[in-house]
A and B are shown apart, each in its own frame.
Chain A
């Protein structure tokens, strides 16, 4: 009986392997044919990514870098669903840091979102570095990923960012919401252009609107604490920096 069961399991595994091999062949055929359109490439990636296994992850990994931007985005999204598949997080981190993706905001954001979905602890360091990215959307994605990964390595960067964004006015509500879709009105623009400090303040106010809530959410997720103000976070971190460990 155990032998029969073993045969059945082996048979099923072989069938799965055959199905995966066939899917990879079909992907290579569909993706690489002459005159292929971007929509076809994306469909090919979607079709292959339905087989969530290591072999498929290895097949798709190069397309995080060596493909059109839209394909990289879709590939990163699909790999974000490969939970438990070994090596996916390192593929994503390598792609995140690859020179070809430097400055590709959409790709970086999507990879960070994928790393967050995977709760990829191995990516904690790379994610933490991007918490302070000058690009607000990359920073937001990194902050959210850090909150999901729950690594202590990110807390320092998170608190530092929270403090930096606060500015001299303290925790007041900003009047601009640039990344919510609005642009500053003419009067604000004029002020910003005239006055460098006001310009910096305007930029900081805008980033604060986008990042403040994700920062608090991420810190709460990692530390299981919830402070109301920036000052409280700063003081707590100064006190517990050397001894902090992530609570369950």
Chain B
């Protein structure tokens, strides 16, 4: 062991260092001798190098800030107990250290990523991640995003608008349209990055002005995340992807949910970059290799697919599409649903069973193709459920994947448990105790949408409300924690059920008691989950 300047020791090359040492590497607090020793170790240790690369994507905390030792120990202990791979525990500890000592910096207009959240970082167990979507979820414990959640929050469903100004536009007024915004006029799609001059002969491309990061949840299968040009690491329960990050499926197929709006399946060996192209309000996928399938889960969306010089732009994609690289050609086969795409200067309609092939130079070919095998493969690999909203009351209201506000309820912390305690109001001789959250980005109702929640109450029944729709719910009383679930199609608004594409802006859970009885309602987690079709 190499002695440290502050009286401790640092590991020699060959021994994996503790999380404090890795954090010191990132913070620049190691002595030169310690850095040399650790550099030698990182040169030969893939696990530690990967952990440092992942942690480096977070904001570096000031060295003077304190570390919550107890919480750090708890995170490391928990991660080592759950993870069969030691490096994940190390990564978790490094991430925990990085975020625990975080202090919110002053905002800067040149910042590409938003301030990390206040509060502890938790890394989801891989077993937990897989179990969550087979059984009733407990908490979606995920690393907080280091990037602009404000982008996702302000982003409504992309409008199904043509990609170029000369494309025909259907001039109809929608009496009750889904939440869509008019997109700004798109720039030339061939040069999406904005370049700015920095002195003579120097040009810097500022991707953040046109590309927004996206987040991914519900990972399944052999899903790996590569940050920039670094090594790939197993994807966590919640990942935020910068425009330089890519998902890949190494030994087997994989899948994830993109921002609660689309299901993405990667075939074995596939790798792709995902982000959001702001000028056209379109999700983008850059195929590095292999095949990717996307299902928009009933929500019309704009998508751009590209590979080198070959690119395809789809507006109003509502269905399932398979994207594949074949040499220098990019193929898009619509398995289900429909989409509009640009073929030269005109918009064309793509129907299920039709394939568009783009070659370098923009040449497009449209032909019929067989869909059965790809459709079967998609059904095998896709997640069985897709989280479209989650509120876990861990202090993640603004920073989690689905930003929300607490409208009613008091946050309570009991040891490691965090939940909302219902607030009581009296009305006409009855006491109502309620918990309510409002989503920053309303969820669109589609078939298969389910409300799940974890609760504890002394009332025999609850009233569940999602948007304007409500239904009674027989509770497990007696003050024990219990899981509840109800399909949203069972709710009604004065006798009328929700119809697809109606907005659900919030969820309220209510218990009612006679007179001034001191009843109780605690809620630990509210989720809206869409079951696979």
Evaluate whether A183 and B337 lie within 8 angstroms (CB atoms) in the complex, with A39-B500, A50-B175 already known. Answer: no
- In B470-507, which residues have CB < 8 Å from any A CB? 470, 472, 492, 494-497, 499-501
CA of A42 to CA of B445 in the docked complex: distance in angstroms?
12
Are A23 and B472 in contact (CB-based, < 8 A)? no
A33 to B319, CA, bound (A): 13
Complex partner residue of B499 from A35, A37, A74, A135, CB under 8 angstroms? A74
Partner of A33, one of B178, B338, B501: B338
Q: Does B298 contact A (CB under 8 A)?
A: yes
Residues of A within 8 A of B501 (CB): 39, 42-43
- Whether A51 sits at the interface, judged by CB under 8 Å, is yes
Q: Hey, which chain B residues are within 8 Å of A73, CB to CB?
A: 496-497, 499
A187 in the interface (beta carbon within 8 A): yes
Contacts of A186 in B (CB 8 A): 460
Give the shortest distance, in Å, between A166 (CB) and chain B (any CB).
19
Q: Using an 8 Å CB-CB cutoff, how does the interface string of A5-30 with B read, 1 for contact, 0 for none?
A: 00000000000000000010010001
A157 CB within 8 Å of chain B: no
Write the chain B residue with the least CB distance to A135.
B495
Q: Please give me the residue from chain B that is nearest to A106 by CB atom.
A: B496
Least distance between A155 CB and chain B CB atoms (Å): 24
Task: Please indicate the chain B residues that have their CB under 8 angstroms from the CB of A135 in the complex.
Answer: 495
* Pair B494/A109 contact, Cβ less than 8 Å: yes
User: Does A234 belong to the interface (CB within 8 Å)?
Assistant: no
Determine if A46 and B318 form an interchain contact, defined as CB atoms under 8 angstroms apart. Answer: no
Cβ-neighbour of B500 out of A26, A42, A77 (below 8 A): A42
Bound Cα distance A50, B177 (Å)? 11
Determine which of A50, A69, A105 lies in contact with B495 in the assembled complex, contact meaning CB atoms within 8 Å.
A105
Question: What are the residues of chain A within 8 A of B175 when measuring CB–CB?
Answer: 46, 49-50, 78, 81
Q: Which residues on the A side are within 8 Å of B428 (C-beta)?
A: 173, 175
Of the listed stretches A57-65, A88-96, A136-144, A145-153, chain B binds: A136-144
Q: How many residues of B contact A (CB 8 A)?
A: 42
User: CB of A128 within 8 A of chain B?
Assistant: no
The CA of A37 and the CA of B300, in the complex, are separated in Å by 11
- Bound-state CA distance A105–B432 (Å) is 29
Query: In chain A, what residue has the closest Cβ to B459?
Result: A185
Could you say which residues of chain B place their CB within 8 Å of the CB of A179? 494
- B-chain residues with CB within 8 Å of residue A42 when the two chains form the complex: 499-501
- Determine whether A34 belongs to the interface, using a CB cutoff of 8 Å to chain B: yes
CA distance A37 to B460 in the complex (A): 39
Contacts of A141 in B (CB 8 A): 494-495
Find out whether the CB atom of B336 lies under 8 angstroms from the CB atom of A35.
Answer: yes
- Residue B342 at the chain A interface, CB threshold 8 Å: no
Q: For chain B, what secondary structure do more than half of its interface residues adopt (helix, strand, loop), or is it mixed?
A: loop
Q: Which residue of A lies closest to B499 (CB)?
A: A70
Report the separation of the CA atoms of residues A175 and B428 in the bound assembly, to the nearest whole angstrom: 8
In the complex, per-residue mask of B320-361: 1 if CB is within 8 Å of any chain A CB, else 0: 000000000000000011100000000000011000000000
Task: Give bound CA distance, A74 to B175, whole Å.
Answer: 11
With A and B bound together, what is the CA distance between A67 and B172 in angstroms?
A: 23
Shortest A181–chain B CB gap in Å is 4
- Asked if B465 is at the interface (CB within 8 A of a chain A CB), the reply is yes
A161 at the binding interface (Cβ < 8 Å): no
| B446 within 8 A of partner (CB) | yes
Contacts of A235 in B (CB 8 A): none
**A40 proximity list for chain B (CB < 8 A):** 318, 337-338
C-alpha gap A127/B170 in the complex (Å):
37
Closest to A140 in B: B494
Kindly list chain A residues whose C-beta atoms are within 8 Å of the C-beta of B497.
Answer: 69-70, 73, 106
B106 within 8 A of A: no
Which B residues are CB-close (under 8 A) to A136? 495
Please state if A185 and B512 are interface contacts (CB–CB under 8 Å): yes
- What is the bound-complex CA distance between A40 and B349, given in angstroms? 14
Interface-central residue, B299, B446, B492, B500, by most chain A CB under 10 Å:
B500
User: In the complex, what distance in Å separates the CA atom of A23 from the CA atom of B187?
Assistant: 30
Question: B337 to A106, Cβ gap below 8 A?
Answer: no
Please state if B172 and A51 are interface contacts (CB–CB under 8 Å).
yes
Which single residue of chain A is at the shortest CB-CB distance from B177? A46
Known: A50-B174, A77-B176, A81-B175. A38 touches B500 (CB 8 A): yes
Contact A70 B500 (CB under 8 A): yes
The residue of chain B having its C-beta at the shortest distance from the C-beta of A109 within the complex is: B495
Docked Cα-Cα span, A74 to B496, in Å, equals 11
* Contact A47-B500, Cβ < 8 Å, known A33-B351, A40-B318: no
Q: Counting CB contacts under 8 A, is A221 at the interface?
A: no
Tell me the bound Cα distance from A135 to B492 in angstroms: 14
Please list the residues of chain B having a beta carbon within 8 angstroms of any beta carbon in chain A. Answer: 170, 172-178, 298-300, 318-319, 336-338, 351-352, 428-430, 432, 446-447, 460-461, 463, 465, 470, 472, 492, 494-497, 499-501, 510, 512-514
Q: Which 8 A-B pairs have the closest CB atoms?
A: A137-B495, A50-B172, A181-B463, A183-B461, A70-B499, A106-B496, A39-B298, A39-B500
- Interface CB pairs A-B, < 8 A, 12: A38-B298, A38-B447, A39-B446, A42-B499, A42-B501, A43-B178, A47-B174, A69-B497, A137-B495, A183-B460, A183-B463, A186-B460
Known pairs A33-B338, A43-B300, A46-B176 / 16 extra A-B pairs, C-beta < 8 Å = A26-B170, A33-B351, A37-B298, A37-B318, A42-B501, A46-B177, A47-B174, A50-B172, A51-B172, A69-B497, A73-B499, A109-B495, A137-B495, A179-B494, A181-B472, A183-B472
